[in-house]
Chain A
């Protein structure tokens, strides 16, 4: 790992919860550094703590130990509101279960994110991104009128509409069949390359992980292996 320009740094990250059967350590001593424009795949079995790590890195949740530096900001020093403001400008998300607002059509789902990020030509830009993901003719379809693959493409458009420096994707193909998954993956990497976005991708698909520059393998909440493929 060279010097470069780290956009995301985690140091001694841990998550501990009090469950019904006593305390439980979900995540323990995770360190990582990610440079701007790089891509990281977090892999591991189900239940190994991938989603938990992602939510800590993105500031959706607070760690029990350690700290996260996003763009040089210490997330634990920021309140929930300040983290939200940071997310709004700097971060994009793609979720396993798409998470489109059911009362908004495809175009409006993208538009709301563009407007939240304060993009000047939000309308034009939203339409463009939807064209890019191949949904130029489905602008005014509601989520329930779209297939899973199409919904995830809308989610990609929403994530990239304000060209965020950092994108978090949690098993973006987990709910899709093979063909749709391939289209979504291609689009994801294509968009990221064009926008120069740093990517944090959670997956248990090793082919997908192989397309990332860095990998981090979790086993029961600990880093089992990390590094750049040769």
Chain B
């Protein structure tokens, strides 16, 4: 047999078969989804790493409270690293009569080493990339300009110097503006030295920022480490990236889940299509065996055709994925004004190819059933059909964890996801099994077509399971994206009362408190909370130096070693609830401290532990008296550490206030700042809006991902239909020959699908409601109440889908000539 020629000759006929087409569509779709996500994920990761470098100020940074040795800079230059020195300190600024406390940041010539400085010239509309300020010049950010009531071009006093504000500072690539408390002034480092503000008592912080090739950075790090003295802190981009990365990982895990689900469903669809193909090919295989073809040839014929056809389908899927990724990326770029790095095809391709190979390896086994087709089948049409090779079904499922790991997922995350998926599948399976048991009982008491329809479901449990699961998954995805997600957002937004604080004011001095509160009342502020705030450091934990305390979470080292905001209060602060221990008794003052529950857990301390704190010049020892659960969504001022008032007597402190100011009274803030020029108001409402936007965007993204799963589930449904098609035809012809009418046949199909659809609707409503409840609890932290619309919508959609399926099935059935029974 000239195999290649036979393979090619059969190609056209092969494409005409519906299951072949289904296989190709599922393959192309799986590859498109995979390509989109893999390339997109890689690009996002690259972007995040670049952002992390900006937030860190460079690939590497060394921070210190005193000036860094000049040798550090020379060493960097020798290794080809670019470097810049920054110095920041708080200082009072004056412009005419106006004055403002600002965060002054002085930078050297090479600044910034990563990212760019954006400034706007006086009178200009658009901003531009700026060089560091020249001698005698400064850049002031918007808040500073407003607070001082000046425009770019004006002159300000910094210490003993007079500087010209040459431009507005639009973006300083150190990521600090998002969290900055005071307005910022950027000046040249030589001017800052000359301003005479770095004397004793000042609190300057120095940073050396470095950037360059990864190997040079590594070499420099190794060279530098032994020379560091206490107080000099080295931080690598990896450390800065950690926060971003954990946010990324959480998002990524959701994407991975959606894509794994999509892949699994596509694999199932492909698997079913090939199982059907194997059944169809079995006859000609048997014949070829009779004619003397070897087992291998019998397999290679359809296999060769499948693989030949898979190639263009895979390429089409890949191209589709590229286009889709480009589109998604364009949207992201427009939204976040970010310049994403170009796609690195060479890096992504091998992984993709291996994944595609894995996918094919998982779904091809049904074709291998052809190896076992006996030549005898050609003589006896009914002998040994290959059948649904159930034991191979575990392959697409087994392929999942491997695919998950290869897609770069976190190992435990993949495991958790798969366990979740597996348990959902198990629950689904169990439910379907239970329903089938019920149906079997029901069938016994029914007669005629009703029993026939029920028994057909009961006796084809695997196919029903697949159809039911596909329908359920599709419905769940649909419900989640169309009902649960909008419901969640709506309910979450309603949980924030109208008088939620939307302004924070920092820097209030204790002697301003009364006047400040009076002024707040005058401008119409509501829900006012004023708390003392002091900056302290952990010195000891249980009498041992804090730096030797092992933290439960490595990210906590900066809290252990760095400055901490502290407050004190006689009562449990609003928006907090006691989780462990007891709140202190005002009648028996002591040195207690209350820790936020999760903070305590990550720091690795608990009830009864003793903490030594340094607050200003004072040392205080406190004992952990209780742990609080904090509702961060309340948007009040919250503290990880709240002291018992007795422990905080005589410590130097300021005050922080939060209050709600209705939007129509927002100009009250201006008069507040005029009355108290040293205050820094923060517009929390704007931040809240930004968070709302972000949650809205995330849920839109999630819904797009669910749409992938929806489509893939539809493919499984179609594949299951196609799989059962041949048998249905035979059965329909027979029933027609036995004399049942077209109407009865259509009713039979409808009944069968109706039962399936109802079961799927019930299970899907349950799953979607449960997911919504879980999301509400874990992510949004409120109690979600799914509406009645959920099961109603599920039932309606299920009915529509099943009616369509029943109609398609009935159409084939009624069009099948009864005489076919004689020729089967």
A112 and B451 CA atoms in complex are apart in Å by 9
**Chain B 284-325 interface 0/1 with A at a Cβ cutoff of 8 Å (1 = within):** 000000000000000000000000000000000000000000
| 50-89 of chain A: CB within 8 A of chain B | 51, 54-55, 58, 60-61, 80-81, 84-89
**Docked complex: B770-824 residues within 8 A CB-CB of A:** 817-819, 821-824
B382, B727, B736, B738 — most chain A CB neighbours (10 Å): B738
Residue pair A108, B731 in contact (C-beta under 8 Å): no
Given A55-B819, A84-B741: A99 and B380 interface contact (C-beta under 8 Å):
no
B455 and A95 contacting across the interface, CB-CB below 8 Å: no
* Min CB gap B756→A, angstroms: 14
A115–B736 CB distance below 8 A: no
**A93-B821, A115-B447 known, 14 other contacts, Cβ within 8 Å:** A60-B817, A60-B821, A84-B740, A84-B741, A87-B738, A97-B824, A98-B382, A99-B821, A102-B727, A112-B448, A116-B738, A142-B459, A148-B380, A170-B822
B residues in contact with A96, CB < 8 Å: 822
Q: Is A116 a contact of B818 with CB atoms below 8 Å? A: no
B380 and A84 form a contact (CB under 8 A): no
Q: A102-B727, A108-B451, A122-B447 are in contact. Are A89 and B739 (CB under 8 A)?
A: yes
Complex interface: chain A residues within 8 A of B738 (CB): 87-88, 93, 112-113, 116
At the interface, yes or no: A35 with Cβ under 8 Å from chain B? no
Q: How far is it, in angstroms, between the C-alpha of A112 and the C-alpha of B452 when the chains are bound?
A: 8
Is there contact, CB below 8 Å, between B739 and A85?
yes
Q: Hey, which chain A residues are within 8 Å of B737, CB to CB?
A: 58, 60, 87, 93, 99
- Name the interface residues of A204-228: CB closer than 8 Å to any CB of B: none
A99 proximity list for chain B (CB < 8 A) = 730, 734, 737, 821, 824
Docked-complex contact B381 and A60, CB < 8 angstroms: no
Specify which of B381, B452, B730 lies most central, judged by the most chain A CB atoms within 10 Å of its CB: B452
Chain A residues 89 to 112 lying within 8 A of chain B, measured CB to CB, are: 89, 91, 93, 95-99, 101-104, 108, 112
Residues of chain B within 8 A of A81, CB atoms compared: 741-742
> Would you call B823 and A51 a contact (CB within 8 A)?
yes
Known A98-B382, A99-B734, A142-B459; judge A116-B739 contact (CB<8 A): yes
Q: Which of B455, B460, B822 has the most CB of A within 10 A?
A: B822
Among B447, B739, B823, the most chain A Cβ lie within 10 Å of the Cβ of B739
| B544 lies within 8 A of chain A by Cβ | no
Q: Which residues of A come within 8 Å of B, CB atoms?
A: 51, 54-55, 58, 60-61, 80-81, 84-89, 91, 93, 95-99, 101-104, 108, 112-113, 115-117, 122, 142, 148, 151, 170, 175
Please give, as numbers and ranges, the residues of chain B lying within 8 Å of A87 by CB-CB distance.
737-739
Q: How far is the CA of A86 from the CA of B818 in the complex (A)?
A: 14
Q: Give A91 to B381 CA distance when docked, in angstroms.
A: 26
- Kindly state the separation between the CA atoms of A105 and B712 in the bound complex, as whole angstroms: 35
> In whole angstroms, how far apart are the Cα atoms of A60 and B737 in the complex?
7
| Partner among A95, A151, A175 whose Cβ is within 8 Å of the Cβ of B822 | A95
Residues of B within 8 A of A86 (CB): 739
B452-465 interface bits toward A, Cβ cutoff 8 Å, 1 = contact, 0 = none:
10011011100000
- At the interface, is chain B mostly helix, strand, loop or mixed? helix
Chain B 435-453 per-residue mask, 1 if CB under 8 angstroms from chain A, else 0:
0000000000001100110
Residues of chain A with a CB closer than 8 A to B458's CB: 103
Question: What residues on B are CB-neighbors of A104 within 8 Å?
Answer: 452, 455, 459
| A84–B560 CA distance with the chains assembled, in angstroms | 86
- Interfacial chain A residues near B455, Cβ < 8 Å: 103-104, 108
Are the CB atoms of B822 and A60 closer together than 8 Å?
yes
| Distance between Cα atoms of A80 and B456 in the complex (Å) | 26
Is A60 a contact of B740 with CB atoms below 8 Å? no
Per the bound structure, the CA–CA distance linking A55 and B818 in Å amounts to 9
In this complex, how many residues of chain B approach chain A with their Cβ under 8 Å: the count is: 30
**A84:B822 contact, CB within 8 angstroms:** no
Q: Which residue of A lies closest to B443 (CB)?
A: A108
A161 to chain B, nearest CB (A): 11
Given contacts A84-B741, A175-B381, whether A95 and B456 have CB atoms under 8 Å apart is no
Min Cβ gap A23→B in Å is 19
Counting residue pairs across A and B whose Cβ atoms lie within 8 Å, the total is: 88
A and B contact pairs by CB, cutoff 8 A, 14 listed: A51-B822, A58-B737, A60-B818, A80-B742, A84-B740, A84-B741, A87-B739, A99-B737, A101-B734, A102-B459, A102-B731, A112-B452, A113-B738, A116-B448
With A and B bound together, what is the CA distance between A165 and B727 in angstroms? 30
Contacts A103-B455, A142-B459 hold; do A84 and B727 have CB atoms under 8 A apart? Answer: no
B462 to chain A, nearest CB (A): 12
Please pick, from B380, B456, B822, the residue contacting A103 in the complex, using a CB distance under 8 A: B456
Chain B residues with CB below 8 A from A85, complex form: 739, 741
User: Given A81-B741, A87-B738, does the pair A175, B821 have CB atoms closer than 8 Å?
Assistant: no
The complex places the Cα of A102 from the Cα of B452 at a distance, in Å, of 11
Q: Which of B381, B739, B742 contacts A97 (CB 8 A)?
A: B381
Which has the most chain B C-beta neighbours within 10 Å: A61, A85, A101?
A101
Q: Mark B562-578, 1 if CB is under 8 A from A, else 0.
A: 00000000000000000
Q: Hey, what's the 0/1 contact readout for B716-732 against A, CB within 8 Å counting as 1? A: 00000000000100110
Smallest CB-CB separation from B814: which chain A residue? A80
Residues of A near B740 (CB, < 8 A) are: 84, 88, 116
Q: Contacts A97-B824, A115-B448 given: A84-B736 contact, CB under 8 Å? A: yes
Instruction: Determine the chain B residues whose CB is within 8 A of the CB of A103 once the complex forms.
Output: 455-456, 458-460
In whole angstroms, how far apart are the Cα atoms of A91 and B736 in the complex? 12
The interface residues of chain B lying within 8 Å CB-to-CB of A54 are 822
Q: Name the distance in Å between B441's Cβ and chain A's nearest Cβ.
A: 15
Q: Considering the chains assembled together, what is the distance between the CA atoms of A85 and B742 in angstroms?
A: 11
Contacts of B742 in A (CB 8 A): 80-81, 84
* B739 contact from A55, A88, A148, Cβ within 8 A: A88
The distance from the CB of A178 to the nearest CB of chain B, in whole angstroms, is 14
The answer to whether A101 and B381 have CB atoms under 8 Å apart is no
Contacts of B452 in A (CB 8 A): 101, 104, 112
Contact in complex: B822, A55 (CB < 8 Å): yes
Q: Quick one: closest B residue to A61, CB to CB?
A: B819
Q: How far is the CB of B824 from chain A (nearest CB, A)?
A: 5
Q: Closest residue of chain A to B446, judged by CB?
A: A115
Bound-state CA distance A85–B818 (Å) is 13
Contact between chains at A97 and B736 (CB < 8 Å) = no
Contacts of A170 in B (CB 8 A): 822
Among B381, B382, B459: residue with most chain A CB under 10 A: B382
CA A58 to CA B821, docked complex, whole Å = 12
Closest B residue, CB atoms, query A104: B455
Within 8 A of A (CB), among B446-498: 447-448, 451-452, 455-456, 458-460
Give the chain A neighbours of B821 by CB distance below 8 A: 60, 93, 95, 99
Contacts of A89 in B (CB 8 A): 739
CB distance from B742 to the nearest CB of A (A): 6
Q: How far is A104 from B381 in the complex, measured between Cα atoms in Å?
A: 20
Please provide the chain B residues from 736 to 768 with a CB less than 8 Å away from any CB of chain A in the complex: 736-742
- Report the Cα distance A53→B737, complex, angstroms: 15
- Minimal Cβ-Cβ distance residue in A for B742: A81
In angstroms, Cα B779 to Cα A3, docked, is 89
Residue in chain A with minimal CB distance to B736? A84
Pick the residue among A58, A60, A115, A148 that contacts B382 (CB under 8 A).
A148
Give the chain B neighbours of A97 by CB distance below 8 A: 381-382, 824
Report yes or no: B381 in contact with A84, Cβ–Cβ below 8 A. Answer: no
A91-B739, A116-B738 known; A60+B824 contact, CB < 8 A: no
Shortest A92–chain B CB gap in Å is 9
List, in ascending order, chain A residues with CB within 8 A of B460's CB: 103
* Chain B contacts for A113, CB-based, 8 A: 738
Complex CA distance for A88 and B739, rounded to whole angstroms: 4
Measured between beta carbons, the chain B residues less than 8 angstroms from A93 are: 737-738, 821
For A84, list chain B residues within 8 Å (CB): 736, 739-742, 818
CB distance from A173 to the nearest CB of B (A): 13
CB distance from B482 to the nearest CB of A (A): 35
Specify which chain B residues have a CB less than 8 angstroms from the CB of A51 in the assembled complex: 822-823
The docked-state distance in angstroms from the alpha carbon of A115 to that of B458 is: 20
Which residues of B from 77 to 96 have beta carbons under 8 Å from A?
none
